[in-house]
Amino acid sequence: MYTKLALLIDGEWIEETNAGSQSVLNPATEQPLGRLPHAGKPELDRALAAASRAFESWKGTSPYERGQIMRRAADLMRERVDHIATVLTLEEGKTFAEAKGEITAAAEFFDWFAEEGRRSYGRVIPARISNMRQTVTQEPVGPVACFTPWNFPAVTPVRKIAPALAAGCTCIIKPSEETPGATLEIARALTDAGLPKGVLNVVFGVPAEVSEYLIRSPIIRKISFTGSTPVGRHLARLAGETLTLATMELGGHAPVIVAKDADIQRAAELSMSIKMRNTGQVCTSPTRFFVERPAYEEYLEYARAFVEKQVVGDGLNPGTTVGPVANERRVEAMDDLISDALSHSARLIAGGERLKGPGLMYSPTILADMPGQAKAMTHEPFGPLALVQPVDDLDQALARANALPYGLAGYAFTSSAAVANRIAEELAVGVIGINQMVVTIPETPFGGIGDSGWGREGGVEGLEAYTVEKYVGHLHL
């Protein structure tokens, strides 16, 4: 039911190395699913050599042909969605329905970039003299190294692989060692779709060692990382030393402003359902809820009623609406943040504790009257935890929303165009959802500001991130 764990290097699936291996666990049972081989220096050197060699032919392959391979891979992913989603749920914990949604979304990213690669237009710049031709073309930046976390093992890797391949780059990706299978299944779809060997290489190992080795290699011309802010800072420093380009998609602590004129029931139910998506382990997860006082108790009541209907359990059980958290670290973080908030006199509205096993089950939790000094108000919970605070007015809501160094996603509910406009202008984040909470689709740019990182994935910007401009001024003699 699970998958064969391996490295993919230069078209070869490698199931054993001299660098050791690690166990992959199912968070719903805490039982092992399989053993994952690690890449040592010999495997990383092979991957680098393969990415470098394959780049020479891949960059010359037409965007049309590159797109055809990606579209075929997307179709294979849709054909295999039940299997890949099962693998994803087994290793990450999210519900099977969410896992299917993630595979479908990942396939759509391939579709988008397959087409967008064909629109990587250059331009002709009017010259100052008549016999001069001034052109700008987009060239692939070169072999890239990507590092992705465990919370979205399908869509996050594809948000990097798809634009890289569409632009003509080759790629070495190190997905999370905790959730390797879904990314491997996507790599399988690509190789089955005809991707030439060496264009995509998948490695696993000790994260700090693998990333440092790849970033220091002169072969790697760009890195793209999704994960926590501290690790992002570290990798950005390494990339700085070698002047390697970088995209950094880091943590968030998303504010939600609920204006008193909003449809409060809809706001509460929608924001709580998005809060509990992937058990709260999402960088754009709504976390700090600022509700205008006249609507505050009504909002909390609808939120509580919604959260108490959730069924926590194994993501493969059809009735489950909230899966386990993905690893023991999240249980510890939730316990710590909740007990700290309660000690600062937060009001417990729902949940608040780990549930009886098997598995890493945590109750969807709402804390109200959140004191500003509680740790959770500044530390990303990355778990099923909603923090609610009353606010006097929009000024106060915006000031509090913008008080953190993070700036990834932000949300608002209001029926007033004036309030919506002001929030759109003044919320200091990279992406905003107003009266809806979908902020990451293939055709729109996604990314943060401040401690949430830099660079954009998706949209035309997602492709540009893997290209460099070349200017040619040609004087016709």
Instruction: Give the active site residues.
Output: 249, 283
Q: Contact between 435 and ligand NAD (CB under 6 A)?
A: no
Using CB under 6 A, which of 162, 246, 268, 283 touches ligand NAD? Answer: 283
Cβ proximity to ligand NAD, 176 vs 244, nearer residue: 176
Q: Contact between 376 and ligand NAD (CB under 6 A)?
A: no
Q: Contact between 176 and ligand NAD (CB under 6 A)?
A: yes
Using CB under 6 A, which of 96, 109, 147, 411 touches ligand NAD? Answer: 147
- The answer to whether residues 381 and 334 touch, using CB atoms and an 8 Å cutoff, is yes
d(CA 166, CA 427): 33
> Minimum CB separation from ligand NAD for residue 172, in Å?
12
Pairing type for strands 449-450 and 7-9 reads unpaired
Question: Among all chains, which residue has been given the structure tokens 């700008």?
Answer: 136
Q: Contact between 34 and ligand NAD (CB under 6 A)?
A: no
Q: Contact between 181 and ligand NAD (CB under 6 A)?
A: no
Phi/psi at 136 (5° precision): -125, 130
Cβ proximity to ligand NAD, 120 vs 285, nearer residue: 285
**Which of 185, 169, 178, 239 is CA-nearest to residue 207?**
178
Using CB under 6 A, which of 112, 150, 289, 296 touches ligand NAD? Answer: 150
Q: Which long-range contacts (CB under 8 A, 24 or more apart) does 227-233 make?
A: 227/147, 227/148, 227/149, 228/149, 228/380, 229/406, 229/451, 229/452, 229/453, 231/207, 232/453
Q: Contact between 250 and ligand NAD (CB under 6 A)?
A: yes
Q: Contact between 329 and ligand NAD (CB under 6 A)?
A: yes
Q: For residue 318, say if its preceding peptide bond is cis, omega within 30 degrees of 0.
A: no
Residues 6+ apart with CB under 8 A from 318: 96
* Interface region with ligand NAD, contact rule CB under 6 A, candidates 75-83, 144-152, 289-297, 455-463: 144-152
If 0-12 CB within 10 Å is exposed, 13-18 middle and 19+ buried, where does residue 245 land?
A: middle
Using CB under 6 A, which of 116, 185, 249, 464 touches ligand NAD? Answer: 249
* Interface region with ligand NAD, contact rule CB under 6 A, candidates 1-9, 130-138, 148-156, 416-424: 148-156
| DSSP letter string, 193-246 | TTPPTTSEEE--S-HHHHHHHHHHSTT--EEEEES-HHHHHHHHHHHHHTT-EE
> Minimum CB separation from ligand NAD for residue 228, in Å?
3
d(CA 67, CA 335): 46
Cβ proximity to ligand NAD, 203 vs 283, nearer residue: 283
**Which residues ranging from 204 to 233 are in contact with ligand NAD (CB under 6 A)?**
207-208, 211, 226-228, 231
> Minimum CB separation from ligand NAD for residue 78, in Å?
24
Rule CB under 6 A: which residues touch ligand NAD? 147, 149-151, 176, 207-208, 211, 226-228, 231, 234-235, 249-251, 283, 329, 380, 382
